[in-house]
Amino acid sequence: VKCIGILTSGGDAPGMNAAIRAVTRSAIYNGMAVKGIYRGFKGLITDEIAEFKTSNVSNIIQRGGTILKTARCDEFKTPEGRKQAYDKLKEHGIEALVAIGGDGTLTGARIFAQEFDLPVIGLPGTIDNDLYGTDVTIGYDTALNTIMECVDKIRDTATSHDRLFFVEVMGRDAGFLALNGAIASGAEAAIIPEISLEKDQLAEMIETGFRKSKNSSIVLVAESEVTGGAIGVAERVKKEYPQFDVRVSILGHLQRGGSPSAQDRILATRMGVAAIDALLDDQRNVMMGIQNDQIVYVPFSKAIKNDKPINRDLLNTLRVASI
Ligand code: F6P
């Protein structure tokens, strides 16, 4: 491979810039040219492509967001759109593609790689941590730290007023941020989609007297139709348990911003370098993953088709630690 293209797509995540930097520098180190593709698959179709040198990725490891910008792209979901994208790659002499993003990005990358003869390497960039085959995704640790800092602040006011707070965190139908965010911030409980289908977490929480020994309580709720979100849960509490003074806080997109943590920078750099090693190793259509501190190659089909299970021991850890 003499020239690679690199793009970020879908929701941004802290650490994407560190990944862009590592992929670019590793490719150049190995004698390849690099083309930066702006705005994900959208920019590939509309030809927003520029040559990247090592200086293009200077001074970005500490920055949140993505210097390549990102977009969600409907055209790329059609065969015509993907054909246009492939033609642009050919025009620019790009012989392999590195795509950084979450579930949607890797799904697109997988279909693209099946239709055209082009090696595609994926990097898991999402705060949701919902990709199978990797212990963690790029951006997850930073988002967890952000949630922890926010909940620490909410606790001050919750305690002063003896209030019950429902704090909604992101996760797109996955409970990793809510569950580990709750453990890290000393919250009393987490309501997560993986468990919502099995039992009524709110009723259980209240029945077990989760608030007996405390003046205030904080419950993290994962955004999702299944959990009802923080607003849905709070409305139920107001109706069924009017004795509580309830408030809601939705953390929203601030969870996606900020300077990446050391963990995310290191993870992104390791995965970025590994992506080029994978290409040199004749790998194609795999996502870089990390398992027990070792980089692994995860076929796209596995990374996106399987639901990543939450570690159920953590539910018990939270229950015990919050009595
Ligand atoms: O996938 C990342 C994520 O932040 C999810 O947690 C959330 O559901 C979604 O993206 C929000 O997307 P948007 O930025 O398009 O509103």
Q: Distance between CA atoms of 221 and 178, rounded to whole angstroms?
A: 6
Q: Is 103 close to ligand 1, i.e. is its CB under 6 Å away? A: no
The amino acid that residue 118 corresponds to is: L
Which residue among 12, 107, 138, 170 has the greatest number of ligand 1 atoms within 8 angstroms of its CB, and so is best to mutate?
A: 170
Residue with tokens 């290191």: 266
How far does residue 116's CA lie from ligand 1's centre (Å)? 29
For the CA of 256, the closest atom of ligand 1 is 4
Q: Is 127 close to ligand 1, i.e. is its CB under 6 Å away? A: yes
Nearest CA to ligand 1 atom 12: 11
Two tokens at 57?
């990725």
How far does residue 190's CA lie from ligand 1's centre (Å)? 19
Residue with tokens 């997109």: 253
Q: Residue 216's pLDDT is what?
A: 77
Nearest CA to ligand 1 atom 1: 11
How far does residue 123's CA lie from ligand 1's centre (Å)? 17
pLDDT tens digits for range 150-208: 999 999 999 999 999 999 999 999 999 999 999 999 999 999 999 998 999 999 888 88
Q: What is the distance between the terminal CA atoms of the chain, rounded to a whole angstrom?
A: 57
- What is the three-class DSSP state of 250? strand
Two tokens at 66?
């993505």
Do residues 145 and 261 touch, judged by C-beta distance below 8 A?
A: yes
**In 106-115, which positions are buried (b, 16+ CB within 10 angstroms) versus exposed (e)?**
bbbbbebbee
Q: What is the pTM of this model?
A: 0.97
Q: Is 128 close to ligand 1, i.e. is its CB under 6 Å away? A: yes
Long-range contacts of 54-63 (CB under 8 A, 24+ apart): 54/24, 54/25, 54/28, 56/24, 57/17, 57/20, 57/21, 57/24, 57/25, 60/17, 60/18, 60/20, 60/21, 61/17, 61/18, 61/21, 61/260, 61/265, 61/269, 62/259, 62/260, 62/265, 63/17, 63/259
Q: Is 175 close to ligand 1, i.e. is its CB under 6 Å away? A: no
Q: Find out whether 211 is annotated in a ligand binding site.
A: no
Do residues 298 and 133 touch, judged by C-beta distance below 8 A?
A: yes
Q: Find out whether 312 is annotated in a ligand binding site.
A: no
Two tokens at 212?
């007996």
pLDDT > 70 fraction of the chain, expressed in percent and rounded: 98
Q: Distance between CA atoms of 294 and 23, rounded to whole angstroms?
A: 18
Q: Is 256 close to ligand 1, i.e. is its CB under 6 Å away? A: yes
Q: Find out whether 188 is annotated in a ligand binding site.
A: yes
Q: Which residues contact 258 (CB under 8 A, 6 or more apart)?
A: 14, 64, 142, 146
pLDDT, the chain, mean: 95
Q: Is 251 close to ligand 1, i.e. is its CB under 6 Å away? A: no
Nearest CA to ligand 1 atom 15: 11
Residue with tokens 């990390």: 290
Q: Would you say residue 210 has pLDDT above 90?
A: no
pLDDT > 90 fraction of the chain, expressed in percent and rounded: 92
Nearest to 318 by CA among 140, 191, 169: 191
Q: Residue 212's pLDDT is what?
A: 59
In this prediction, residues 67-92 reach a mean pLDDT of: 96
Catalytic residue among 47, 117, 128, 135: 128
Two tokens at 248?
């809601």
Q: Which residues contact 232 (CB under 8 A, 6 or more apart)?
A: none
Two tokens at 268?
């992104």
Q: Would you say residue 215 has pLDDT above 70?
A: no
Length, in residues, of the chain: 323
Q: Is 128 a catalytic residue?
A: yes
How far does residue 171's CA lie from ligand 1's centre (Å)? 8
Q: Which helix (H) or strand (E) holds 123?
A: strand 120-124
pLDDT tens digits for range 4-39: 999 999 999 999 999 999 999 999 999 999 999 999
HSE at residue 83, side-chain half, CA atoms within 13 A, is: 3
Q: Is 11 close to ligand 1, i.e. is its CB under 6 Å away? A: yes
Q: Distance between CA atoms of 5 and 156, rounded to whole angstroms?
A: 47
Q: Find out whether 73 is annotated in a ligand binding site.
A: yes
116: confidence class by pLDDT, cuts 50, 70, 90: very high
